[in-house]
Structure 1
Amino acid sequence: MLRRLVSMLCSLPLLLGLALPCDAAELQLSEVRLDPCGELDAGNQPELSRPVGASCYVLTGDVENRSKNSVIDTDVYARILDASGEPVLPNRTRVGSIGDVNPGLSPFALRISVPAGTPGPFVIKNPRARGFNAPVRSRVDADDDDLLPLERGINQQ
């Protein structure tokens, strides 16, 4: 039933003369790890003497696109668990967007806000990435930079 509904939703824009990407591509992730943001990272808040609200972390790793075409608007999914096995981001497995992924192996990095006081070390389970064969979000930047503003300047020091 669900498959039939998705199929109908994907074909509806075609009937109306619109083209929307409905084919998603699964990408392989490796060497995935979660580290605190560097001291010079814009997401870090070094002026605070103790953490308030959230702490900045960077999820890094390699993404492999085994197809011959670029994968567009790629999202990263993972379950991140704290030292006690509890989810760091409850009710949420999408951790962020890494933009476009060209064929081959590429590094990726994205910021994650972890609630302050969450006990580490952290365990990353089921990391995966999924993108599309055509853009799914508007692109207004003239320089064609496909990363979101917060992901452009991750400084890992």
Structure 2
Amino acid sequence: MEQIIEMETMLENVEEKMNRLEEKPSTRIQACQLLAKTKDLQKEVKEFPLPDLDAEYTDEEGDRLDLALDRYNILRQKLADLEAKAETLCVCWNKLDQDVTELTHLLSSGGGSTRAIERLDKSIAQLRDMFTVRDGIMSELKNEDLQSTLSPAAAE
């Protein structure tokens, strides 16, 4: 029973930390911080020793263990999804930063050659694609309700 209580405590702590994360990062720094914090939480969950699944448990203990394992699996999936979204946001913002720097350089250096104009067109198309990807991810993050999916009541 002690292992189950420890697992429930770990789940509550990680769920609380996850709920405190910046769910809608508005800058590249916030997105990269979200990515780092999400990876830390994943490591904490992954390294937690699960209770012995072959041990004998009372009905109550078995039910609590089942609920804890369900929460554990939901939490791992949510963290994996959040990491993927944060990583995509970081990549988008890094690419955006590179493109803006390149555009600024081309514009400040005259940028009148055919080659420069082609590069500008390509960069603008990439920026448009990046904003589309970023807006999709931001909408997903905005629409998610982590609290309701991770709460113990939702697992029941």
For normalisation by structure 2, the TM-score amounts to 0.23
Which structure's residues are more often strand, by fraction?
1
Larger Rg: 2
Q: Which has the higher helix share?
A: 2
**TM-score scaled by structure 1?**
0.23
